[in-house]
Structure 1
Amino acid sequence: MNFIVASDMSQSLGLESCEQVIYSHLLACVKAESPEQVLQRFHRLFILGQQYPDPKIRQALEQLLRQHSNTRMLLPFFNRCCHILVNRWQLAAADKQAVSHLLELIKQVQTPSRASRGGHAGNRLRLLVYQFAESDYFQQLNRIGEFVRGPGRTSDQAPLVTLIHRYPYLYSHCLLSQQDDPEQQRIIRVAQVEKQKEFEQNLSRYMALSTVNRGGVAPLPMPGKVENPTLLSHRDLQQTLKHFVGPVNGRSSSYRHRAQRFIRTVQPQTAFADFKQDIYQYLLADLDPQYVHCRFGKQLQQTLATISPEQDRQPMTNILMNRTFTQLLNFLVIESRRSPQHAIFMDLISNLGSTQTVGLLLKLVLLEKSVRTSLERRISVLFNHYENYKQAAVGWLVRCLEKVNLAFTTHFSKLDFSYLGAL
């Protein structure tokens, strides 16, 4: 990109105005032109940095580059430019392929040499695009690309990220950020509702057909029959559903009934120490006694003991309850992206299996609605952590993702799945 003499327009525009000029221009282009034409514009403006037909847009971009000595400061701006195009293309089936082409354009930018990182606008543009391709912004955009692409790449050799479309409970956490514009948030939330409804209906239809066969074998092919909507075997699916909605491990009550009973025991005058002891017993009920006594029970007790011990003699409050749930999720699953340790979660799966591990988390979710969002957020951290691993290498996580979907569906859907407990 060759700098031109600053015109009155470029001198008078502030940084926000420069950004808005480019946003408005891209929005007008993506509404009026074909994806091929827009991709060509994008390539000329941001990657080649030359031969762009609109001088006003070229000047606005040059001014942004001049005003930011650190190109990383422009990453949010470039991210918004990409989302303006993606938001439009993902709405039309015929245009969805353009999202993949956009991602490929960005990926193809080579690492700029140190000698080429000077003040020349073209060099700084390439540096900006390269930094974007290495950023969290691009990782999120890549997930959106897989989401837009949809089903069709379920394979042991495909990366985990290709399964993102299967788990609507992850959409808000993996496909959105606080910086996303309202339109992007609306698109994703609508897709989330639609995908969840589709899964619930397919699961209901599939299980309705399979209940005719009590032998644990998948139903015979029938006209109009839906396929197993999960990645679990029919037998694993059936046993998982029975575990989640029926009596737990052959006992007399379900997860829901036990949660309701626990909630009734928590009174305003209950001391915090007593609450922690009660929740300790509640969580460990029905788990393998040998595993509990070996190490997990002690680890859980130590975790609870470190939660606001100075408040142990005080009456329970919502703040203390929520703090307890937060710390328990940190312990059982994962704390955050900055602290991605999840050895306890792996240990639970290895010793209890994915069904009981998800059941343990379900116990917390059924006590307080807000825990569901907190759990979703932590599972999204796990998903993002392993998103580039082959599915075959993280089969344990795929099974957990599927079973969390089933746990949420059976307990929060408007459809009735309670009959599955009698299978």
Structure 2
Amino acid sequence: MTFSVNPDLYKNHSPEQQIYQHLFELVQLKSVSETIECFRDLFIEGTNYVEKEISSALEEITASKKAEKEFYLFLNRCCYILINRWYMQPQMHYAIYQLIAIFNHPSRRILTSRSKSSRRLHVLVKGFINSEQYSTLQRLAQVINQTTHSESHDRNQPLTALIRRYPYLYEHCLLNEDATIEQQWIVKQIQSQVQRKFEIDLSQYVTYQVRLAQVAANNSSLSGTNRIIHPVNNPTLLSDTQVNIALKNFLGKVEGENTYKDLAHNFLHYSSQATCFRAFKDDLYEYLISGIDWEYGKLQFHQRLYAQLQNSLPQADFQKVNDFLIVRTCQKLLNFLIVETSSSPQHFTFLDLIGNQGSICAIGLLLKIILICRKIKPYLAKRVAILFNHYEFANDHNIDWFVALLEELNIALSIHFGNIDLCYFK
């Protein structure tokens, strides 16, 4: 396939910039199939590319001493040059999925018959396939593909196929630290679209359930209800009963006459009178344990939580409470309650809490924290994203608890941080 270019166009450009410019022109002038075929010839086949200037530039990149360190970022950028173009045209969204899929199909040429530079490219591309950059691209393609086509409500899919359902994870699962402004914009657009749709779907579903309840309360026959009230599907992977329980807990009264918003408001008012940071931590401890079953808490949880708070920034115990201390304390609490690092994703405390108190109670505890320190909501999402990455390729019933948690957290965050209004549900 011939793609003529002006060699002078690439003069004085770095090898990377030459390839970026080439791909930018390619995606504008060629069809999707031709563009993907050229991309495959250049990066997967790696031999006899039609544009010698471009293949020479790629050889220079792969031969560089910095190749192992920088090649993944370079190839990720190459992918995004095409993705950015296709994303702007909804009818071409399918191409993004096809592009990412070509990495799953090996070269048609026998490796031993390749030149040294081609073998070097093969090794680097193989490393890219095992990199975090490629995992992120796969998730993005999954999200865009599901946005284009009807979404499956099969709970028994691999976790990676469910990523689209949880927009609060997008920033941490669909972007790398080196993401460009364009990449961030795409993810932000998809996140906004998916979040808005979920809120509308949930609102319509709740309205439908409330109307059914009203019919039942009026002792009317339910036999003709579907002819009067248009049925609305449950937008979650939870049962109707589970959704109802989640709504009652995250919207309604949980401790006496108080909702979670009430509890947070009362705590912030009361703790503002704390004489020092240590007194604030004592108040925070009481605030957090008030919703935990005492029999469970006294076994170990209360003691460990108290120790965690006392060991948080002890050098500041007698300072006046400020925003920095509150943020850092809440971050440390989320580390303790969920998971601390991606390099060692141990989460025994979280598993024990959910196993003994249930996921609704566990999410309620997390809500208490982020409602008094809204700045750390992204930090909460990052902790959950670490667990998502940890369980991503599990495909058995052992992660049902985690899927339920993700769904319930989606409801909780939509209620407290979204634009959904479900006050009539009360």
Cα 1:118–1:34 shift into 2, 3 Å: closer
Q: C-alpha deviations, 1:310-334, integer Å up to 9, x for none?
A: 3222221222111110110000011
Residue identity in the other structure for 2:125: V
Residue 394 (1) aligns with residue 393 (2): no
The answer as to whether partners of 2:155 and 2:237 remain within 8 angstroms in 1 is no
Cα 1:324–1:71 shift into 2, 3 Å: closer
1:139 maps to what in 2? 135
Q: Superposed, which structure 2 residues align to 1:103-118 within 5 Å?
A: 103-109=100-106
Residue 248 (1) aligns with residue 254 (2): yes
Where in structure 1 are there 5+ consecutive unaligned residues? 1-6
Residue 228 (1) aligns with residue 225 (2): no
2:57 maps to what in 1? 60
Residue 128 of structure 1 and its aligned partner are, at CA, apart by 1.1
Name the CA distance, whole Å, in 2 between partners of 1:69 and 1:262. Answer: 53
1:307 maps to what in 2? 312
Name the CA distance, whole Å, in 1 between partners of 2:331 and 2:411. Answer: 22
Structure 1 stretch 208-217 or stretch 395-404: which is displaced more? 208-217
Name the CA distance, whole Å, in 2 between partners of 1:156 and 1:168. Answer: 17
Residue identity in the other structure for 1:141: L
Residue identity in the other structure for 1:197: R
1:334 maps to what in 2? 339
Residue 36 of structure 1 and its aligned partner are, at CA, apart by 1.0
Q: Superposed, which structure 2 residues align to 1:147-296 within 5 Å?
A: 147-150=143-146, 151-214=150-213, 221=226, 225-248=231-254, 251-267=256-272, 270-296=275-301
Cα 1:365–1:391 shift into 2, 3 Å: farther
Q: C-alpha deviations, 1:143-187, integer Å up to 9, x for none?
A: 112111215344344210111111111111111123222222111
Q: C-alpha deviations, 1:335-394, integer Å up to 9, x for none?
A: 121231111111111011111111110001110111211101111111111111126331
The answer as to whether partners of 1:109 and 1:126 remain within 8 angstroms in 2 is no
Name the CA distance, whole Å, in 1 between partners of 2:171 and 2:400. Answer: 23
Residue 377 (1) aligns with residue 374 (2): no
1:128 maps to what in 2? 124
Residue 276 of structure 1 and its aligned partner are, at CA, apart by 0.9
Q: Superposed, which structure 2 residues align to 1:346-361 within 5 Å?
A: 346-361=351-366
Name the CA distance, whole Å, in 1 between partners of 2:311 and 2:212. Answer: 50
Cα 1:193–1:320 shift into 2, 3 Å: same
Name the CA distance, whole Å, in 2 between partners of 1:85 and 1:184. Answer: 11
1:4 maps to what in 2? none
Residue 365 (1) aligns with residue 370 (2): yes
Where in structure 2 are there 5+ consecutive unaligned residues? 1-6
1:100 maps to what in 2? 97
Residue 88 (1) aligns with residue 90 (2): no
Residue 43 (1) aligns with residue 40 (2): yes
The answer as to whether partners of 1:246 and 1:418 remain within 8 angstroms in 2 is no
Aligned CA RMSD, in angstroms, stands at 2.7
Residue 408 (1) aligns with residue 413 (2): yes
Residue 90 of structure 1 and its aligned partner are, at CA, apart by 3.8
Name the CA distance, whole Å, in 2 between partners of 1:73 and 1:412. Answer: 38
Cα 1:104–1:331 shift into 2, 3 Å: same
Residue 209 of structure 1 and its aligned partner are, at CA, apart by 1.3
The answer as to whether partners of 1:27 and 1:85 remain within 8 angstroms in 2 is yes
Cα 1:275–1:118 shift into 2, 3 Å: farther
SS of the aligned residue for 2:205 comes to helix
Residue 30 (1) aligns with residue 27 (2): yes
Cα 1:32–1:224 shift into 2, 3 Å: farther
Cα 1:240–1:389 shift into 2, 3 Å: same
Say how many residue pairs are matched.
Answer: 408
Residue identity in the other structure for 1:85: L
Residue 69 of structure 1 and its aligned partner are, at CA, apart by 6.1
The answer as to whether partners of 1:117 and 1:127 remain within 8 angstroms in 2 is no
The answer as to whether partners of 2:62 and 2:117 remain within 8 angstroms in 1 is yes
Name the CA distance, whole Å, in 2 between partners of 1:25 and 1:44. Answer: 14
Could you tell me the TM-score, scaled by structure 1's length?
0.89
Name the CA distance, whole Å, in 1 between partners of 2:186 and 2:236. Answer: 24
Name the CA distance, whole Å, in 2 between partners of 1:384 and 1:146. Answer: 15
The answer as to whether partners of 1:109 and 1:129 remain within 8 angstroms in 2 is no
Residue identity in the other structure for 1:29: L
Name the CA distance, whole Å, in 1 between partners of 2:89 and 2:402. Answer: 32
The answer as to whether partners of 1:118 and 1:124 remain within 8 angstroms in 2 is no
SS of the aligned residue for 1:20 comes to helix
Cα 1:389–1:75 shift into 2, 3 Å: same
Residue 224 of structure 1 and its aligned partner are, at CA, apart by 5.1
Q: C-alpha deviations, 1:34-93, integer Å up to 9, x for none?
A: 221111101111111122221221221122123236434311101111122223334444
